[in-house]
Chain A
Amino acid sequence: MGVNHVKCECGHINPEGTVLCEACGKPIEKNQHIDGNEGKKLLNMRYDGASRRSQTYNQSIVDKIWNFFSSVRNGVILIVIALLASGIGTIFPQEMYIPEEAADRNPAVFYEDWYGIFGKIYYQLGLHNLYSSWWYMLLIALIGVSLVICSIDRFVPLRRALKMQKPKRHYTFLSRQRLFSNSGDVSEEDKKKVVERLKKKRYKITDENGYILAEKNRFSRWGPYVNHIGLIIVLLAALVRMSPIMFLDDYVWVREGEEKVIPSTDGEYFIENKKFTLETYDAEDEENEKFKDAIEEQGMIEKNYQTDAVIYKAKDKEVVGEEEELEKVKEGSLQMNKPMKFGGYTLYQSGYQENEFSDMTFGIYETDDEDGDSLGEVTIDTLEPDTTYETDSGFEVEVVQYYPEYEMKDGEPRSVSKFPRNPAFVLEVTPPDSDEEELSFVGIGKNIDATGENDYKMKIKDYNQRFVSGITVRKDYTIPFFIIGAAIFLIGVMQGMYWYHRRIWINPDKKGMLLAAHTNKNWFGIKKDIEYAIEGTSFEMVTDQEEEKEMEDDNREV
C-alpha cells in the first residue's frame, strides 16, 4: 500500500484526496476541508466525494500547469479578465469602425483628435485592435484550455466513483444525505415490495447481501461533459476558420459589362457582370394593393437585387496577367439570399451602386443655332473611349483628355478616381472639309468653350447609366463543425437538464433499516418515487434534512 493512499474502516483503499470513501461513503476525516463538509450536517455530494487528482498532486511542471488549469476558480478568473478586456474594447471604436466623417482616419491621429489624452493612450496601448490582439486571443485560448482540462479532471474520477459505488454504505454517509429515514425493524417482505416498486419506476437495482442500491438515469451526470465537448468543437471550428483553406471572405465590385478577377481565388476565377437588375414594388400593382400606402410613404421599396453573372476559370495559368484562356464554369444569377456556388466558393449579392455612366452621346450644334438640329452625333464609351470618332456627317471628334470623375482642383481639372461617376471630356472638333480644330470641354452640366470663338458647340444628348454590383466572395467549410458542436452542446444540456440522476440506498444496519436518497435535481420528484415505493409498508418516509435545517435556521432568527 502506498503512503499516499487512505484506507477506510470498510477495508477499501482510496486514492489520496478522497473526501468520501469510494466504497462505503464514509467521510474521510482529514479530507473534509476539500468539499467544505466540516461542521455541516449534510455532505457535499459533488463528484461523489471522489479524489480530484489536481487538488492533491503537485509535482512536476506538467502537473503544476495541469493543476492551474484544472481549477474552476482559475477558469472563472480567466473568464472575468476576458469579460473586462472585451468591455474595454468598446470604450472607443475599434480601428475598423473609425467613423467615415473623421477628418483623419489614420488611427495615430484619429484617437487623439477625437478623445484627447485618453484616446492617445488607448491607441498607444494597441486597444484600437483589441479583439485581434495576440493577448486577447491567448486569453480566449486559455479559457478553452481550462475548459478541456477541467472537464478531463472531473470526468475521470467521477466516472470511477460512480462505477465503483457499492450498495453498502457507512451509517455516517447515509445519515448525512439530504433525504434520510431510519425505519427500525422492517420485514423482508416489505423490503422486497419496495424494491419491486422501484423496479417498476425503472430504477436499476443492485442487491449485495441484502444491501440495496436503486439507481436511475446515471447518464444525466455526463451532460456537462458532453456539453463541454460541444463547446470544444465550436472552439476548434473557430480555430480552423482562421486558415484561408477553410474560410475566406472578400468583396468585389463589378460593373455591368465588366470582367474581373475574383479576389482571394489566387487569380483562378473571373466574374463577368452581364446585367444588374433592381426591382421595386409597384404601388399601382393590384397585388400590392394592401401595401399601397406604405410604398407611397417610403417612396421606393426594393423587391429584388440581381446580378446575372458568368463565372470563368483560367484554363492554363502559367503567369498571372497573361492573356488567359478562360473556360466558362457557370452562368446564372445571384439574388439576395440566393447565392451562386462554384468550386467551393459562394457569391452573395451584397450591394450596388448606381452612380456610374456607361456611355454618353454628344451632339454637335452650330453655336449660333443651339436649339436647331444637330449636325452629327458621337457616342463615347466611358470605360474605354476611343481616341477619335467620326460622325456620319464627316465631323471628326478627338478625345484630347478624359476625366472619369471630374473635379476642379487648384484651378485645374482632374479626375479623382477611375470610375465614370462624373465624366468630362476635352474634345477637339474638326468640321468636314476643314482644318480648323476647336476645343470644347463638356461634362454633366458643364459646357465650356475654350476660346469663346467656337463655331460649333458640343451638347450632351443622351447618356446611359450603369449599375455596379457588390458581391461578397466566401468560402466556408467550417459551418458543419459549428453545427455539430452546437448540436452536441444542446444534447449535453438536455441530458443534464431533463433527466435526473437518482439514487436510493436501502441498508439494513444494526441501528435499523436505513433509507437514504440523493439526486442532483428535482428533489420533489425523488420524494414522490419514495412515497410510491414505500406505500403500505412499514418503511418510514424520508425527512428532508435540508428543509428541516432551513426551518431551524428560521426559528433561530425569530
Chain B
Amino acid sequence: MRVDEAKHKKRNKKKKRYIFRFSILVVLVGAITYALIQNYNKDKDIHEEGDQAPNFELTQVSENHDDAGEPLRLSDLEGKGVMLNFWATYCEPCEREMPYMEDLYPEYEDDIEIVAVSLDTSELVINRFINKYDLTFPVVHDTNSEVMDLYNISPLPSTIFIDADGKIVDKVNGELSLDTLEEHFKEIQPK
C-alpha cells in the first residue's frame, strides 16, 4: 500500500515537472518565433502581391485630360486593371518608360487605366513634361508624399499592377521595357 502511494506520488511529481518544463519551453519558443517573424516582416514591404491595394484619392494634373483638377479615387477604377506608376520628371528611367505607357494606352484604355503618380513638387514641371510627351492617361500629384508613404515606395520608378478586383498582382521596382509592360498589362486585363 505504502509503496503504491509513493509510486503514485512520484508519478504525479514527474507529471507536474513535465507540464512546468513544457509550458516554459512553449512560452520561450513563442517569444522567439514572434521575434523572428517581426524581423522577417521588417524587411518586407507593407503591401504585397495578393493584398488589396490600399485606396487613395489625389488630384489630376494632366493638362491634356478633360478631368484636370478633378480628384481621382483608386476605388472608382474597380472593374478595370490599374497600372499605378510612381514617377517624377527628374527621374531618367521614368522618362524612358513613359513613351511605352503612352504607346500602349490607346490599345488597352477600355480595360486598363494608367495612373501616373508624380512625386514632383511643382505642378509646372509636371505639365511641361506631359506636354513634351503628349501623355493622355491621368497623372495625379502626390503633393505631400502621402501615397508614396502609403505604398512604401523608395526607388523611382516603381510600378504596381492591380487587377480588376483591386488586388495587387505585381510590383516592379525599376524601369519597364515595352515588352514587359505589355506582359503585365495582359496579366491585369479583366477576362
- The residues of A with any CB-CB pair to B shorter than 8 Å are 1-2, 53, 60, 62-63, 65-66, 132, 134, 137-138, 141, 144-145, 148-149, 152, 236, 239, 242-243, 259-261, 263, 267, 270, 319-323, 382-387, 399-402, 404-405, 414-420
Q: Contacts of B6 on A, CB cut-off 8 Å?
A: 1-2
Q: Which of B77-85, B144-152, B178-186 contacts A (4 or more CB under 8 A)?
A: B144-152
Interface of A is mostly: mixed
Contact of B149 among A148, A263, A405 (CB under 8 A): A263
Q: B191 interface residue, CB < 8 Å from A?
A: no
Query: CB distance B142 to A321 under 8 Å?
Result: yes
Query: CB distance A321 to B122 under 8 Å?
Result: no
Query: CB distance A2 to B10 under 8 Å?
Result: yes
Q: Contacts of B56 on A, CB cut-off 8 Å?
A: 319-322
Report, nearest first, the 8 A-B pairs whose CB atoms are least far apart: A242-B38, A322-B57, A321-B56, A320-B56, A415-B90, A141-B32, A319-B57, A321-B58
Question: Taking CB as reference atom, which chain B residue is nearest A148?
Answer: B28
Query: CB distance B22 to A418 under 8 Å?
Result: no
Query: CB distance B90 to A148 under 8 Å?
Result: no
Question: Taking CB as reference atom, which chain A residue is nearest B74?
Answer: A319
Give Cα distance in the complex from A53 to B54, angstroms. 55
Q: Which parts of B1-44 form the interface with A (CB within 8 Å)?
A: 6-7, 10, 17-18, 21-22, 24-25, 28, 31-32, 34-36, 38-40, 42-43
Can you list, as one digit per residue, whether each of B92-118 has a CB less than 8 Å from chain A (1) or not (0)? 100000000000000000000000000
A414 to chain B, nearest CB (A): 7
Query: CB distance A418 to B119 under 8 Å?
Result: yes
Query: CB distance A62 to B125 under 8 Å?
Result: no
Q: Contacts of A1 on B, CB cut-off 8 Å?
A: 6
9 A-B contacts (beta carbon < 8 Å): A62-B18, A65-B25, A141-B35, A148-B28, A239-B35, A320-B146, A322-B71, A385-B122, A399-B124
Q: Contacts of A415 on B, CB cut-off 8 Å?
A: 89-90, 125
- The residues of B with any CB-CB pair to A shorter than 8 Å are 6-7, 10, 17-18, 21-22, 24-25, 28, 31-32, 34-36, 38-40, 42-43, 54-58, 71, 73, 75, 88-90, 92, 119-125, 128, 142, 144-147, 149-150
Interface of B is mostly: helix
Give Cα distance in the complex from A309 to B99, angstroms. 41
Q: Contacts of A2 on B, CB cut-off 8 Å?
A: 6-7, 10
Question: Taking CB as reference atom, which chain A residue is nearest B127?
Answer: A387
Query: CB distance B25 to A134 under 8 Å?
Result: no
With A134-B40, A137-B36 known as contacts, the answer to whether A267 contacts B149 (CB < 8 A) is yes
Question: Taking CB as reference atom, which chain A residue is nearest B89?
Answer: A415
Query: CB distance A138 to B128 under 8 Å?
Result: no
Q: Contacts of A145 on B, CB cut-off 8 Å?
A: 28, 32
Query: CB distance A270 to B144 under 8 Å?
Result: yes
Contact of A418 among B7, B17, B43, B88 (CB under 8 A): B88
Query: CB distance B124 to A385 under 8 Å?
Result: yes
Give Cα distance in the complex from A382 to B124, angstroms. 10
Q: A239-B35, A242-B42, A404-B121 are in contact. List 15 more A-B contacts (CB 8 A).
A: A2-B7, A63-B18, A134-B40, A137-B39, A141-B31, A141-B32, A145-B28, A236-B31, A261-B145, A319-B75, A384-B124, A385-B122, A385-B124, A401-B128, A402-B125
